[in-house]
């Protein structure tokens, strides 16, 4: 999963762009470096768990994900037993889900991209990476702030006109030293904060320093949150476009 998968503050919206020296990176370059740092430039294979927390219950889903660039992604549910074997595929601009229990392949329309994935606070768009923080938004540095003990760029991402994105704008905090996404806030088209995401438990995996624990907190649902743990990840694996097929959705393990 790329996330693919990050968030900021209404009070900051009126602040003028942070003055950058000529030799410094642009906002777009910073966002791309952070995106590459987390997602891998070419491809990835990962094993993750997702815990959905609600005021009166919680449950954990385990899954594997494969990606190839920004255009291909395949996710396989491995636990719990009741949902094991379900798969989700992104191939270019098409999204599909396969449920072995009912032996049904469903194409997901764009209207479903904002719906919760597997009952979590993450959307189908988050998991399938339909939109791109690099290509679908304009980027402006609005200042610097600390997240924990790390100094971060604070960058506002505004959705481009006609971009197929869920969020009107985002604000992301990116570590200045290692280019890590450490905090993000997502806003709807009317400018209301919808959710905050935090990157925690920074570790080196497959030679990359990344946050391995992602905590997503909805803004207006008290006691709700979703926690994703990256257990294993490999970057720039050998994988072809043919892996991301409807046929493979039914047999991948």
Question: Sign of dihedral through CA atoms 162, 163, 167, 173?
Answer: negative
Residues 6+ apart with CB under 8 A from 125: 113, 114, 131, 165, 166
User: pTM for this structure?
Assistant: 0.82
Q: Determine the pLDDT at residue 121.
A: 93
Helix, strand, or coil (residue 183): strand
Note the pLDDT of residue 111: 76
Using an 8 Å Cβ cutoff, are 132 and 125 in contact? no
Q: How many CB atoms lie within 10 A of CB 168?
A: 16
| Residue 114: predicted pLDDT | 74
- Distance, in Å, from the CA atom of 147 to the CA atom of 34, rounded to the nearest integer, reads 15
Tokens 């219950």, located at residue: 57
Q: Are 61 and 52 in contact (CB under 8 A)?
A: yes
| pLDDT digits 0-9 by tens, 33-46 | 998 888 766 899 99
Q: Which helix (H) or strand (E) holds 217?
A: strand 208-218
- Cβ atoms within 10 Å, residue 86: 19
What CA–CA distance (Å, rounded) separates 181 from 37? 9
pLDDT score for 124: 78
- Catalogue all structural domains in the chain, each as residue range(s) with its CATH number: 10-249 (2.50.20.10)
Tokens of 158: 């505004």
Under-70 pLDDT residues of the chain: 1-23, 40-41, 127-131
Q: What is the pLDDT of residue 17?
A: 38
């Amino acid at each position: 999963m790329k996330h693919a998968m990050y968030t900021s503050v209404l009070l900051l919206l009126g602040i003028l762009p942070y003055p950058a020296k000529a030799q410094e990176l642009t906002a777009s370059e910073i966002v791309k470096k952070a995106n590459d740092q987390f997602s891998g430039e070419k491809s990835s294979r990962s094993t993750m768990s997702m815990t959905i927390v609600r005021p009166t219950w919680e449950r954990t889903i385990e899954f594997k994900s494969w990606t190839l660039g920004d255009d291909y992604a395949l996710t396989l549910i491995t636990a719990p037993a009741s949902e094991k074997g379900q798969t989700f595929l992104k191939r270019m601009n098409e999204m599909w889900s396969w449920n072995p229990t009912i032996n049904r392949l469903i194409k997901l329309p764009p209207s479903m991209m904002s719906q919760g994935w597997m009952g979590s606070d993450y959307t189908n768009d988050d998991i399938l990476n339909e939109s791109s923080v690099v290509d679908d938004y304009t980027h402006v540095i609005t200042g610097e702030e600390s997240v924990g003990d790390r100094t971060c760029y604070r960058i506002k991402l505004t959705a481009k006109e006609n971009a197929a994105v869920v969020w009107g704008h985002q604000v992301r905090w990116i570590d200045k030293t290692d280019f890590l996404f450490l905090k993000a806030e997502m806003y709807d088209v009317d400018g209301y904060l919808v959710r905050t995401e935090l990157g925690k438990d920074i570790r080196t995996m497959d030679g990359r320093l990344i946050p391995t624990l992602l905590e997503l907190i909805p803004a207006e649902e008290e006691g709700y949150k979703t926690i994703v743990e990256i257990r294993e990840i490999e970057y720039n694996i050998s994988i072809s476009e043919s892996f991301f097929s409807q046929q493979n959705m039914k047999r991948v393990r």
